[in-house]
Amino acid sequence: MTGGIVLTVYGREDCHLCHDMIAELEAFQPEYRFALVVVDVDEDETLERQYGHLVPVLAGNGEEICHYHLDPVALAAYFGKIR
């Protein structure tokens, strides 16, 4: 059970940084208990304009947590704020 918390990674299919961030996030799932949604920004013109140069972008509840690389400190701060 995820406790209803959903994190979203905005990225691209052929982005190694995106794949790295997703793998790192999956390692944190047992600790933080969240669902992970991956969105390909290239499939949505608005998202491509918004996040295209920042991918991967990690967001939770519409709030950007970090981009380019997973920031474990920012992730912990996000969970500290919402719990």
In terms of Cβ atoms closer than 10 Å to its own Cβ (0-12, 13-18, 19+), residue 4 is exposed
Question: Strand runs (DSSP E) across 1-83, as ranges?
Answer: 6-11, 35-40, 57-60, 63-67
pLDDT for 73 beyond 50: yes
Q: Which CATH number is correct for 6-82, 3.50.50.60, 1.20.1070.10, 3.30.450.40, 3.40.30.10? A: 3.40.30.10
Task: Note the pTM of the prediction, 2 decimals.
Answer: 0.93
- The pLDDT tens digits of the residues spanning 23-63 come to 999 999 999 999 999 999 999 999 999 999 999 999 999 99
- Domain ranges in the chain? 6-82
